[in-house]
Amino acid sequence: MQKYPGFKVEIISADHQNKADVGAAIARRWIDQEKVDAVADVPNSAVGLAVNEVVRGTKAALIASSAASSDLTGKHCSPNTIQWTFDTWAASHTIGDYLVHHGGKKWYFIATDNALGKSMVHDGTSVIKASGGTVLGSVNVPINTADYASFILQADGSGADVIAFATAGGDTVNLIKQSAEFGLRQNGRTFAALLTTTNDVEASGLAVGQGLIIVQPFYWDLNDKSRSWSARFSERQHGQSPTAFHAGVYSSVLAYLNAALAAGTNDAPAIIRKLKEKPIEDDLFGPVVVRPDGRAIHNMYILKVKAPPASKSKWDLLEQVGVLSGPEAFRPLADGGCALVEQSKSD
């Protein structure tokens, strides 16, 4: 870090291939043999949960940014783990609460057949029912499905007001494109993607994605600070606009390193205790509070994909239509089943 020349940070990386056993083996080797102090990012919920168990009881940390399972700070919470950017509960709750209160009473889910998809459907169903809506049905589909026609027609036949994609990456892009090919948007339905990025929206194209509702903890064009940081990111990344995942890795690692400096140690539980002591003023996520369960609390924004004429540039993709504050957006502390919560009450 430039402000602290005596504070040395070395970064290494590896590909877990979206396999929990591979991710766990990498983390175990790093900690046991290479003396790694913290593992960051970890996209893929199954891999994140596996690495979470590897770091538990060690002096190393998991700084989960792209692992979305809300179980990381729920029943599988650990004093060695923080979860920063978002989770399935927050994504489902924020978008579900918003749309039910804006006319989207009847829902149908198309979900990937994995822990991530099932978690989003479960968490989304809870908030939809609590807000006065109903879930008419859901279908689980294999990851990397090429032809979604039968699933889209099944959703269309349900009579739902909202068709929600509990998917990620290329699956979401394909669903957006193929749903447009069937002309379902012309039937007055709302489409919602519970876990997507600006890259997915750009890859889909505004012509087919316009009107899609998504939820993000960060968007490059939210305010002056997000625009300033995003401009620096884009300059280094040959014009690529940062996603919430990029922002989450930067923000969480920076907060962890600052806490390590303040704590004066590499010991993960001690650093995470320092992170939990007081609110953090973050340029990208605004005010952030790290709760006893390790969950970072911050605003979540509801955004709508722009129509092509409304876009002024390649990455001018979204307009903000709503926001939930951190305490509103994330699962209540008492509801996650985290043993650290009861422990914090007795301390």
Clarify whether residues 66 and 150 are in a common domain: no
Termini Cα distance of the chain: 34
Kindly state whether residue 10 falls inside one of the protein's structural domains: no
Ranges of H-type helices in the chain? 20-33, 45-55, 88-100, 115-130, 149-157, 169-181, 198-204, 206-209, 224-236, 244-263, 268-275, 326-329, 339-346
Do 79 and 99 lie in one domain? The reply is no
Specify the pLDDT at position 8.
Answer: 86
Residue 261, C-beta contacts closer than 8 angstroms, at least 6 positions apart? 1, 4, 7
Task: Give domain status of residue 234, yes or no.
Answer: no
Q: Is the pLDDT of residue 262 over 60?
A: yes
Q: pLDDT confidence of 186, banded at 50, 70, 90?
A: low
Would residue 62 count as lying in a domain? yes
* CA 324 distance to own-chain centroid: 15
Residue labelled with tokens 């920076």: 254
Query: Looking at the domain assignment, is residue 181 inside a domain?
Result: yes
Is residue 31 domain-shared with residue 140, that is, in the same domain? no
Same-domain check for residues 167 and 249: no
With a cut of 80, say whether residue 183 has pLDDT above it: no
- 151: CATH: 3.40.50.2300
Report how many domains make up the chain: 2
Quick one: DSSP state of residue 240?
Answer: P
**51-55, 127-131, 184-188: least confident range:** 184-188
pLDDT in tens, 82-117: 999 999 999 999 999 999 999 999 999 999 998 788
Give the whole-angstrom CA distance, residue 339 versus residue 79: 10
54 with 152, same domain: the answer is no
Does one domain contain both 164 and 93?
Answer: yes
- Distance, in Å, from the CA atom of 189 to the CA atom of 338, rounded to the nearest integer, reads 38
Q: Is residue 116 part of a domain?
A: yes
- Which amino acid type is present at position 46? A
7, 154, 155 from 151: Cα distances, Å: 53, 5, 6
Domain match, 192 and 253 both? no
Whole-number Cα distances in Å, 237 to 47, 117, 228, 232, 246: 27, 30, 14, 9, 11
pLDDT, position 346? 60
Q: What is the pLDDT of residues 39-86, one digit of tens each?
A: 999 998 899 999 999 999 999 999 999 998 999 999 999 999 999 999
**pLDDT for residue 217 is more than 70:** yes
Lowest-pLDDT range of 166-170, 237-241, 319-323: 166-170
Output the average pLDDT for the chain. Answer: 93
Same domain? For 208 and 103 the reply is: yes
pLDDT reported for residue 182: 80
The helix or strand, by DSSP H or E, that contains position 282, with its residue range, turns out to be strand 280-282
Q: Are residues 58 and 116 in the same domain?
A: no
Q: Let me know: does 123 contact 92? Beta carbons within 8 Å.
A: yes
Does residue 7 sit within a domain? no
Flag whether 225 is in a domain: no
| 208 and 307 co-located in one domain | yes
pLDDT in tens, 302-316: 999 999 999 999 999
Q: Could you give the percent of the chain with pLDDT greater than 70?
A: 96
User: Which residues, other chains included, contact 150 with Cβ-Cβ below 8 Å and sequence gap of 6+?
Assistant: none
Q: Which residue has the higher pLDDT, 261 or 3?
A: 261
Task: Categorize the per-residue pLDDT at 187 as very low, low, confident or very high, splitting at 50, 70 and 90.
Answer: low
> Which domain range does residue 54 map to?
20-86+243-295
Question: What integer pLDDT is reported at residue 159 of this predicted model?
Answer: 92
The predicted model gives 202-229 an average pLDDT of 95
Q: How confident is the model at residue 28 (pLDDT cuts 50, 70, 90)?
A: very high
pLDDT of residue 44: 87
Q: What is the pLDDT of residue 103?
A: 92
Q: Give the pLDDT of residue 319.
A: 97
Residue 8, domain member (yes or no): no
Per-residue pLDDT at 21 exceeds 90 = yes
Same domain, 79 and 165: no
Neighbours of 59 (CB within 10 A): 17
131 and 51 in a common domain: no
The label of the residue with tokens 């709503």 reads: 322
Alpha carbons 303 and 333: distance in angstroms, whole number? 26
pLDDT of residue 345: 64
Q: How far apart are CA 165 and CA 200, in angstroms?
A: 13
